[in-house]
Structure 1
Amino acid sequence: MSLVATPDSRFAAKIFPSPNHGERMGANGMSGRRPDMLILHYTGMPDTGEALQWLCNPVSQVSSHYFVFENGHVLQLVPEERRAWHAGASHWAGETDLNSCSIGIEIANPGHPGGLPDFTAEQIAATLNLSRDICERWAIPPERVLAHSDIAPGRKIDPGEKFPWRHFAEGGVGLWSEPAPIRGGRFLARGERGQPVEALQAMFAMLGYGVAVDGVFDQKLEDVVAAFQRHWRQEKVDGVADASTITTLRDLVAQTRQARTA
């Protein structure tokens, strides 16, 4: 399938085609699934040009719909109607083929391997404009604008704890609740078991994370807690469910449930 002559979004300067895409598939096995999720990534490579070429190399078997340079320049790599290969093994709200239901944006940044430098102001402005446009055209709800780390905890940690999720929510993109202050007191951590852990797992599952509700605080749950903190409680990312993390999670679950029933 060939790319159209102009980008789907007016915020993309031009098309730089990647061959790495396919049909969007629904749960019924039929093609034509509409995207209802937006996933944000960083490239995690030291060289921006190499990162772009990798997303367009058929050997890599990876791609994204859009690529945002440090100067805010945006390219479209894959048509929005097509299934780009950016999410990988992932889970959210009971779904596992997230490539079929999402649009992916790669933001040029060397990431944690490169010291996690700040995103540039130009990148943030361009990504916000692009994201808002995508969400408006596809009616993507705020609670389905997510980090790669949200849908693949432990396996992925991008776009990282420096990504300005609050700024995006203030700009109309994504879900946000002011994080509860970090204080001392009771906390849950790896190795614990019981009803409090089960209640924590249930809240994560209600938000959308792929977590078993079995009352066991294992490595997988620690990864989920850290992913949540990277997105919604960025001041401290340690995988420990302290009072600040649990309160912030509770507030976001309540906000999401209210939005779904509105």
Structure 2
Amino acid sequence: MQVEQVPSPNFNDRKHAVNMLVLHYTGMESGEAALTRMCDPAAEVSAHYMIWEDGRISQLVAEDKRAWHAGVSIWQGDTDLNSRSIGIEIVNGGHDVPLSDGTLPPYPDAQIEAVIALCKNILSRHDIPASRVVAHSDIAPARKTDPGEHFPWAQLAAAGIGLWPSAAALSLDESSLMPGDSGPAVSDLQNMLRAIGYGLEANGTYDEATRIVISAFQRRYVPTQITGAADPETLERLAHVYGLGAGAA
């Protein structure tokens, strides 16, 4: 695995040990534009790595330094996630720069192969639990949608990177929870989301914050139906991710 060094000035010292891996898409017209922005001191953004469409890997910030990619975010009760994580930007326009027909641009095979290789390399050198390999949309669901519902999380999980609920574990029933619902079942839903890692108050009311977090969960684990409603499939996948020990740091 070859890595090109493209130093960015946008970093500072860590305050915590590395125990997270955060995946993003660049959400810009091109990789060149994204790289220019992450190397611009005025932009005050960066990541440790950027992966191009053809699989090339550029390193912008050393892993022992704090890159500026996560922003205001929370996971498993932790904040200052920039200090705790390694950030990977994947060149893809995503929701910000969709294709001409409005669909999301695909992730080329060579790019995903490079993502998997880099993630496995990082995980071999840092103590990062599967539950702390996250999307930007997981840690900042009200602000971010990357790396998007078109990102192949199942393929990464099959390679040992992150979590994915097994289809064999799903046995759908007819239960569902909807925005506006309230009561103990909603509290249970919120507590499972909190245990997995999402920043959410367990107030027993299916409020807007809960809808946003369910949408983020669906974007990652139920990518064909991002509705914000906890339908039977979403509840089953949520229970399975929770059961995989996702609440453990």
Question: For the superposition of Structure 1 and Structure 2, which TM-score range results when normalised by the shorter chain?
Answer: over 0.9
The alpha-carbon deviation at position 192 of structure 1 amounts to 1.7
Q: Is the 8 A contact 2:137 2:144 kept in 1?
A: yes
Aligned residues: 243
Secondary structure of the structure 2 residue equivalent to 1:95: coil
Shift of 1:133: 0.5
**TM-score, normalising length: structure 1:** 0.88
Task: Verify: 1:123 aligned to 2:83, yes or no.
Answer: no
Q: Does 1:19 align with 2:6?
A: no
Decide whether the 8 Å contact of 1:90 with 1:152 is kept in 2.
yes
Aligned in 2, Cα 1:182/1:233: closer, same or farther, shift over 3 Å?
farther
Per-residue CA deviation, residues 39-59 of structure 1 (Å, 9 max, x unaligned), is 000000112211111011111
- Of 246-255 and 68-77, more deviation after overlay is shown by 246-255
Matches within 5 A, 1:206-221: 206-221=195-210
Conservation of the 8 A alpha-carbon contact between 1:194 and 1:215: yes
The amino acid of 1:129's aligned partner reads A
RMSD value, Cα: 1.8
Which ranges of 4 or more aligned residues in structure 1 deviate by more than 4 Å?
Answer: 179-184
Corresponding letter in the other structure for 2:21: L
1:85-126 deviation line (CA, Å, top 9, x unaligned): 000010000111100000000000001122221101111000
- What residue is the counterpart of 1:45 in the other structure? 28
2:221 to 229, 232, 243: 232
Is residue 88 of structure 2 the alignment partner of residue 99 of structure 1?
A: no
Q: 2:37 aligns to what?
A: 54
- Offset at 1:196? 1.1
Q: How far apart, CA to CA, are the structure 1 residues paired with 2:106 and 2:173?
A: 29
- In structure 1, C-alpha distance between the alignment counterparts of 2:181 and 2:171, rounded to whole Å: 21
* Structure 2 residue ranges without an equivalent (≥5): 99-103
Partner deviation per Cα, 1:13-58 (whole Å, 9 max, x = no partner): 2210111111111xxxxxxx22110000000011221111101111
Question: Structure 2 CA distance, aligned partners of 1:107 and 1:40?
Answer: 7
Compute the TM-score of the two structures, normalised by the length of structure 2: 0.93
Question: Aligned-pair distance for 1:154?
Answer: 2.1
Instruction: Compute the displacement of 1:139 (Å).
Output: 2.1
- 1:30 corresponds in structure 2 to none
Displacement of 1:182 in angstroms is 9.9
The alpha carbon displacement at 1:183 in A equals: 6.7
Structure 1: gaps (5+ residues): 1-10, 26-32
